[in-house]
């Protein structure tokens, strides 16, 4: 069978190709209009904005070819924006016409009531009972434990139309999770990033043998609760050790060297190989895996950056979202060529990353934003990557540390809080100073200023580390996290300090963050990832089940 992938170069399609291969099928990229004509099955994983997706389709003539393909009755599957373009239009790109297969308009989620983008694993409720043979065609259902990975700011509001195959709920909003009519099936979620549950959905499409039978409507479950899970993220700090091998390491308050060597030398801690550990965490139920490259690889051509290979290999066996951080900025590579941050990010997306995480460069961008009285120039890495790949692909990793002061008046330009954990001289107040270069240099910008600026620039998520807590196993810095959670409406990942399962409950209960990340306890196998999930489930949290 000839299966084709319609890609227009706007994101990570490597994972989808890997997922299809994992299921035993070969898939080829569409390179010409004739390929669409030849295809027996076609998958369109749209990425980026609705308007740019339609523009790219129109510029290549693929829009008309797609319409013809769909009209021919051959099976078509759309993913994410690949589902949205089947609608008439989208609030995201006013005036741009979609393919108009489904009579509806894509709308933005209300960010005054919840974090937007909607990012994470959510349940679905199937809206239609299928006619003969249809169950085999596609079978993702809400009655079971399955969760699927969503990442989007815009969605099709649910209205119980007969083409709405499944719906989901985010906060007070019910939206369409997948559509189906005849030979067309499309999902708002990413099956290729949804673990085994997602692979099952993909397999159903790959195995179907054509147009499905009659559909029968059943009443939808209007009262379906929001089943968005709290995400548990495993983080791997990766660097070259003294022998030049790439290893996963872990610091104590950002110091990654062991001082226990007999000869007094200081070895970089080696906690394992990045690809092996990532695979282990996927199998143990990690909802996402983040790699932070903490070595500045100098003098290397872009295409030789070692983390590209790590991502390529990881995405062959890890089917949850992958984030890569470290060194996402304009750089001069080994050939003396200036490579813009957008190109660096592009290389990572093509190698299997779903999000890039920006550290130091985000601090400089925020400083420039305030210096220019909050003017958006469109030239920062955050703005450019968000424009090309969508805000959900841009994470800002923050490395703050406490600065104690006697009173708020002592730091009038910063957001000072009263703390329950006084400083060394009994100070009752503190602010959180942002740092660059892996915590080695403090800047005159506090964490609230930073996260507000990067949200305005177009970051889609905050990865909130804490230098004072990193590697201490003493629990998350709840005061820091609360301050940041209240300052932005994009999702926040709590990081640094997890030491026991109770710390995850505490951070979710007291700060309402969307995700919690840990490193040391997972690497040292002190607290297995599965036990975090089991504990949270026992506390009645929505968490994604660990799959077989």
Asked if residue 254 binds ligand 1PR (CB under 6 A), the reply is yes
Which listed residue (16, 248, 328, 545) binds ligand 1PR by CB under 6 A? Answer: 328
Task: State the DSSP string of 134-164.
Answer: HHHH----SSSS--EEEEESEEPBP---TTE
- C-alpha 266/C-alpha 331 separation (Å) is 29
Among the options 7, 92, 192, 461, which is catalytic? 192
The answer to whether 433 contacts ligand 1PR (rule: CB under 6 A) is: no
The contact mask relative to ligand 1PR for 345-384 (x = CB under 6 A, - = no) is ------------xxxxx-----------------------
305 part of the interface to ligand 1PR, by CB under 6 A: no
Q: Is 462 in the site for ligand 1PR (CB under 6 A)?
A: no
- Does 470 contact ligand 1PR by CB under 6 A? yes
Binding mask 110-149 for ligand 1PR (x = CB under 6 A): ----------------------------------------
CB of 202 to ligand 1PR, least distance (A): 31
Catalytic residue among 35, 80, 87, 434: 80
Smaller CB distance to ligand 1PR: residue 201 or 518?
518
Q: Least Å distance between CB 534 and ligand 1PR?
A: 19
Closest CA to 517 of 537, 535, 492: 492
Active site annotation includes 523: no
Residue 61: partners with Cβ closer than 8 Å, 6 or more residues away: 33
> Is residue 190 annotated as part of the catalytic site, yes or no?
yes
Residue 518 found at the interface with ligand 1PR (CB under 6 A): yes
Nearest Cα neighbor of 73 from 207, 206, 211, 186 is: 211
281 binds ligand 1PR (CB under 6 A): no
Which of 410/473 has CB closer to ligand 1PR? 473
Q: Does 438 bind ligand 1PR (CB under 6 A)?
A: yes
- What is the DSSP track for 319-375? -S-EEEES--S-EE-TTS-EE-HHHHHHHHHHTT-SEEEE-HHHHHHHHHHHHTTS-
Contacts 24+ apart (CB under 8 A), 417-421: 417/479, 417/483, 419/479, 420/479, 421/479
233 binds ligand 1PR (CB under 6 A): no
Contact by Cβ (8 Å): 108, 217: no
* Active-site hit among 7, 63, 399, 461: 399
273, 281 contact by CB (below 8 A): no
Q: CA 253, CA 439: separation in Å to the nearest integer?
A: 9
Cα(483)–Cα(486) distance, integer angstroms: 5
Which helix (DSSP H) or strand (DSSP E) does residue 443 occupy?
A: strand 441-446
Residues making contact with ligand 1PR (CB under 6 A): 235, 237, 250-251, 254, 256, 292, 294, 325-328, 357-361, 397, 399, 438-439, 465, 470-471, 495-498, 518-520
Active site residues: 80, 190, 192, 237, 399
């Amino acid at each position: 069978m000839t299966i084709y992938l319609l890609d227009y170069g706007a994101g990570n399609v490597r994972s989808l190709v890997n997922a299809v291969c994992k299921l035993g099928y070969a898939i080829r990229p569409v390179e010409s209009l004739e390929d669409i004509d030849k295809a027996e099955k076609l998958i369109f994983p749209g990425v980026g904005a609705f308007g740019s997706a339609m523009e790219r389709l129109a510029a290549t003539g693929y829009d008309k070819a797609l319409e013809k393909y769909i009209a021919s009755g051959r099976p078509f599957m759309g993913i994410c924006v690949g589902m949205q373009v089947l609608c008439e239009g989208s609030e995201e790109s006013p005036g741009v016409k979609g393919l108009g297969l489904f009579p509806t308009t894509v709308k933005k989620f209300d960010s005054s009531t919840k974090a937007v983008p909607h990012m994470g694993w959510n349940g679905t409720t199937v809206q239609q009972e299928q006619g003969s043979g249809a169950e085999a065609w596609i079978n993702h259902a809400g009655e079971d434990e399955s969760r699927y990975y969503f990442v989007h700011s815009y969605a099709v509001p649910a209205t119980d139309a007969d083409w709405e195959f499944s719906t989901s709920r985010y906060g007070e909003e019910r939206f369409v999770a997948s559509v189906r009519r005849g030979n067309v099936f499309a999902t708002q979620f990413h099956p290729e990033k949804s673990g085994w549950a997602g692979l099952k959905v993909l397999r159903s499409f790959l195995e179907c043998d054509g147009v499905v039978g009659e559909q029968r409507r059943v009443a939808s479950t209007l009262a379906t609760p929001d089943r968005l899970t709290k995400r548990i993220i495993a983080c791997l700090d990766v660097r070259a050790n003294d022998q030049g091998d790439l290893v996963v390491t872990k610091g104590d308050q950002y110091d990654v060297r062991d001082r226990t060597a007999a000869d007094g030398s200081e070895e970089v801690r080696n906690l394992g190989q990045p690809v092996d550990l990532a695979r282990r965490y996927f199998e143990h139920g990690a909802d996402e895996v983040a790699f932070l490259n903490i070595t500045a690889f100098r003098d290397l051509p872009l295409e030789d950056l070692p983390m590209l290979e790590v991502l390529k290999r990881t995405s062959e066996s890890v089917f949850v979202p992958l984030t890569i951080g470290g060194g996402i900025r304009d750089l001069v590579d080994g050939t003396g060529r200036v490579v813009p941050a957008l190109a660096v990010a592009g290389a990572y997306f093509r190698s299997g990353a779903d999000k890039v995480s920006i550290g130091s460069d985000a601090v400089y961008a925020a400083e420039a934003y305030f210096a220019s009285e909050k003017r958006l120039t469109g030239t920062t890495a955050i703005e450019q990557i968000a424009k090309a790949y969508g805000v959900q692909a841009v994470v800002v990793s923050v490395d703050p540390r406490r600065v104690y002061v006697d009173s708020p008046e002592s730091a009038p330009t910063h957001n000072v809080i009263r703390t329950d954990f006084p400083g060394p001289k009994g100070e009752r107040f503190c602010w959180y100073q942002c740092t660059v270069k892996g915590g080695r240099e403090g800047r005159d910008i506090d964490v609230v200023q930073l996260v507000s600026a990067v949200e305005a620039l177009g970051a889609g998520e905050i990865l909130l580390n804490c230098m004072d807590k990193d590697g201490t196993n003493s629990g998350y810095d709840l005061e820091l996290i609360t301050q940041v959670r209240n300052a932005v409406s994009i999702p926040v990942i709590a990081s640094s300090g997890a030491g026991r399962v109770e710390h995850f409950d505490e951070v979710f209960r007291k700060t309402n963050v969307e995700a919690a990340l840990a490193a040391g306890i997972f690497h040292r196998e002190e607290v297995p990832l599965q036990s975090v999930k089991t504990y949270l489930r026992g506390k009645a949290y929505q968490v994604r089940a660990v799959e077989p």
